[in-house]
Amino acid sequence: METLITILVGVLVTVAVYLLLSKSLVRVILGTAILSHAVHLLLMTMGGLKKGAVPLLGENAENYADALPQALILTAIVISFAVTSFLLVLAYRTYKETGSDNLAVLRGFEDE
Amino acid sequence: MNNIVVMPMVVPLLTGILLVFLRSQVKIQQLLSIFSIITTAVISVYILNLIQEDGVLRIDFGGWMPPYGISFVADSFSVLLVLTTAIVTGILLIYAFSSIGRAHENMFFYPFVFFLIAGVNGSFLTGDLFNLFVCFEVMLLSSYVLITLGGRKVQLVESIKYISINVLSSWFFLVGIAYLYGTVGTLNMAHLSVRIAEVGQGPLLTVISIIFLLVFSLKSGLLLYFWLPGSYSAPPTVVAALFGALLTKVGIYAMFRVFTLIFYHEQGVTHLLIGIMAALTMIGGSIGAIAYNDVRQIVSYNVVIAVGFILVGLAVSTEIAFQGSIYYLIHDMIIKALLFLIAGTMVYLTGTARIEQMSGLIRNYPLLGWLFFITMLSLAGIPPLSGFIGKVYVGQGAIEAGSYLLLAIAFLSSIFVLYSLLRIFMNCFWGETIINEDDDVPLKKGMLIPLVLFGILTIVLGIGAEGLAPYVTDAARTLANPEIYIDAVLNGEG
């Protein structure tokens, strides 16, 4: 199972890198979103994908699931959500100001 | 267990939240922000003295003992930086009062400055690797807002670059954390150190450490500084000064923490790499600093050179070199804030950033000229100003470790710093004055006072280095002997 998910992470990273390298700003932003999904999956996989009971003492189970990666992912999701929404607003403002979302065109604004 | 440790993060955070609700009362916002930053400074002085008596302090949130809970750990190194942050921000706020403008003040400028400070202080104080990531993000999100606030075209375009590169480096940070957790199963820094010492830092862990090196080099501008000059010259002067003084330093701090506490076993690989990167950074920064004619670009490249110089101390990794780096780090936070403020003030006064279009400013603004002169000498490391002591100790450390090449490059870079600033000085301050008395833009008192305060600070720090010595020695001792830190976190009474 871990191997499968790791391969999936690799595929997601490939897709994200492809998007990041494109010239359209919106694609770049989507790329960062996919990139963060990939790392969330990686965090989950690194904690070990085992079937276990809820990590509470009263459960008296053989195995317990590791709760820490899930807490980490939750935090990371919130952060990447905030950053992505900020980036989208920024892209919109940039488009309104400059009339372009093409990163190659946007390079020229050294001075106003 | 000492609740005071978390205060340098909580005070700015609460102030920021409070200021959001006082949007239209600019006067109250200003008063409150100055009051809050002074409080933070006083608290950090108190913590600093407490550490000298009681050793490294920590607080476990929710009473969860390390390594299970998240803890904040305060040693001399982190608290010295927290204190410097508070002082530098306080003086920068005074500059902001007279320069940032009503539009910014109404659009939550002060709250975001405080969120930034909360993130910076949190990064300095945290004892948990994931928490470090979170504090980094708090700091970065505020910096995204501050860099775009105002919405000029150049700001928007530069901030896209700045944000994309930071999103990418945060991603690498998470990847590093995931691998590290998968390998050793903990994220508490002291616990990580113990476990890695137990299993030995094999090739796998060294590769993971290089991921962290990559992350922190992107954040601090070590070799991977291509994004820095553009982003630091786009926003308003105060914001640029805040970034130049604080943001790269957080990356440097994280690098010191991680490579002295956790990954210190394979110095032949990691520290050699840091040394090579530091040398290339100084060379690249020097070329950049003398290549441009734009004041803001020159000043930004000076930030890059300083990053390389400070990390020479980490590359050679002796206790003396750590002392030098800490002195230089404190000095650099103050002097870079001053340098950015002077550069911004020059642009404000003349309306241009090109050095060939300015001339004779010292006739119109003598005090500004002399302050620039002091800054230049201090950055070049002329005694008795504050840059001197750091350079001496870093040099001494490099000689002890036998890294003569690194030493030569480090001191050559000082000459390039001097040359790049002399070029500004001779072009802009000397020569025929271009501003006649009629359209002489008056230099506001509110802008001059912070500059003078920074000037005094660099002189005091240079002459009064003796007073700082016990704290810096203790900080360097903790860096050189990680077991002090580990002992305080894992064995100390909570």
Residue A107: the pLDDT is 75
CA atoms within 13 A on the CB side of B89: 32
The yes-or-no verdict on residue A30 having pLDDT over 80 is yes
Give the global pTM.
0.95
Which is more confident, B12 or B442?
B12
Work out the end-to-end distance of chain A between its first and last CA atoms, rounded to an integer number of angstroms.
54
Q: Mind listing the pLDDT tens digit for each residue in B168-188? A: 999 999 999 999 999 998 999
Q: How far apart are CA B42 and CA B385, in angstroms?
A: 25
Residue B108: the pLDDT is 93
Q: What is the mean pLDDT of residues B403-421?
A: 94
Nearest-CB residue to B156 (from A43, A90, A103): A90
Omega within 30 of 0 (cis) for the link into B482:
no
- Residue A111: band (very low, low, confident or very high) from pLDDT cuts 50, 70, 90: very low
Give the residue from B159, B167, B357 with the most A CB atoms within 10 Å of its CB, the best one to mutate: B167
- Are A39 and B178 within 8 A, CB to CB? yes
Residue B1: the pLDDT is 59
Which residue from A94, A45, A74 is spatially nearest to B162, judged by alpha carbons? A94
- Are B157 and A42 within 8 A, CB to CB? no
Q: Which two tokens stand for residue B479?
A: 């860096």
Residue B493: the pLDDT is 62
Give the residue from chain B lying closest to A30, CA to CA. Answer: B164
- Tell me the chain A residues in contact with residue B153 when contact means C-beta distances shorter than 8 Å: 97-98, 109, 112
Q: Mind listing the pLDDT tens digit for each residue in B1-13? A: 578 999 999 999 9
Q: Mind listing the pLDDT tens digit for each residue in B218-243? A: 999 999 999 999 899 889 999 999 99
Omega within 30 of 0 (cis) for the link into B235:
no
Partner B contacted by A82 (CB < 8 A): yes
Q: Mind listing the pLDDT tens digit for each residue in B264-290? A: 998 889 999 999 999 999 999 999 999
The yes-or-no verdict on residue A112 having pLDDT over 50 is no
The three-class DSSP label of residue A57 is: helix
Q: Is residue A71 part of a domain?
A: yes
The yes-or-no verdict on residue B306 having pLDDT over 90 is yes
Q: How far apart are CA B252 and CA B471, in angstroms?
A: 19
- Are B182 and A79 within 8 A, CB to CB? no
Residue B259: the pLDDT is 95
The yes-or-no verdict on residue B255 having pLDDT over 90 is yes
Q: How far apart are CA B300 and CA A86, in angstroms?
A: 26
Partner B contacted by A3 (CB < 8 A): no
Question: The domain spanning residue A11 has which CATH number?
Answer: 1.10.287.3510
- Residue B438: band (very low, low, confident or very high) from pLDDT cuts 50, 70, 90: low
Q: Mind listing the pLDDT tens digit for each residue in B26-76? A: 999 999 999 999 999 999 999 999 999 988 999 998 888 888 888 999 999
Q: Which residues partner with B57 through β-bridges?
A: B74
Which residue from B308, B343, B138 is spatially nearest to B238, judged by alpha carbons? B343
Residue B383: the pLDDT is 86
State the virtual CA torsion across B3, B5, B9, B10 in degrees, nearest 10: 10
Q: Is residue A19 part of a domain?
A: yes
Q: Total domain count for chain A?
A: 1
Q: Is residue A59 part of a domain?
A: no
Beta-carbon contacts of residue B300 (< 8 Å; ≥ 6 apart):
B228, B229, B232, B233, B244
Average pLDDT, chain B: 92
Residue B207: the pLDDT is 95
- Residue B396: band (very low, low, confident or very high) from pLDDT cuts 50, 70, 90: very high
Least confident of A51-60, B253-262, B473-482: A51-60
Q: What is the mean pLDDT of residues B386-394?
A: 93
Least confident of A48-57, B1-10, B344-353, B359-368: A48-57
- Tell me the chain A residues in contact with residue B134 when contact means C-beta distances shorter than 8 Å: 75, 79
- Measured N-to-C along each axis, helices A2-20 and A25-46 cross at an angle, to the nearest 10 degrees, of 160
- Are B148 and A91 within 8 A, CB to CB? no
DSSP string, B303-370: HHHHHHHHHHHHHH--HHHHHHHHHHHHHHHHHHHHHHHHHHHHHHHHS--BGGG---HHHH-HHHHH
Nearest-CB residue to A79 (from B137, B145, B177): B137
Q: What is the mean pLDDT of residues B135-139?
A: 95
- Are B130 and A91 within 8 A, CB to CB? no
Q: Mind listing the pLDDT tens digit for each residue in B443-470? A: 888 899 999 999 999 999 999 889 999 9
Q: What is the mean pLDDT of residues B400-412?
A: 93
User: How big is chain A by its Cα radius of gyration, in Å?
Assistant: 19
Give the residue from A97, A100, A105, A107 with the most B CB atoms within 10 Å of its CB, the best one to mutate: A97
Whole-number percent of chain B with pLDDT over 70: 99
The yes-or-no verdict on residue A109 having pLDDT over 80 is no
Partner B contacted by A100 (CB < 8 A): no
Q: Mind listing the pLDDT tens digit for each residue in A43-72? A: 999 887 877 788 887 778 788 888 888 899
Q: Is residue A58 part of a domain?
A: no
Residue B298: the pLDDT is 94
Beta-carbon contacts of residue A90 (< 8 Å; ≥ 6 apart):
B144, B148, B156, B159, B160, B163
Q: Is residue A112 part of a domain?
A: no
Residue A100: the pLDDT is 85
Q: Is residue A10 part of a domain?
A: yes
Q: Mind listing the pLDDT tens digit for each residue in B61-115? A: 888 888 888 899 999 999 999 999 999 999 999 999 999 888 888 899 999 999 9
Which residue from B7, B12, B1 is spatially nearest to B488, judged by alpha carbons? B1
Q: Mind listing the pLDDT tens digit for each residue in A66-107? A: 888 889 999 999 999 999 999 999 999 999 988 888 888 887
Which residue from B342, B90, B125 is spatially nearest to B250, judged by alpha carbons? B125
Give the residue from chain B lying closest to A33, CA to CA. Answer: B167
Residue B437: the pLDDT is 65
Q: Is residue A32 part of a domain?
A: yes
Q: How far apart are CA B242 and CA B229, in angstroms?
A: 14
DSSP element (H, E) containing B205:
helix B203-220
Full residue range of the structural domain in which residue A14 is found:
2-49+64-105
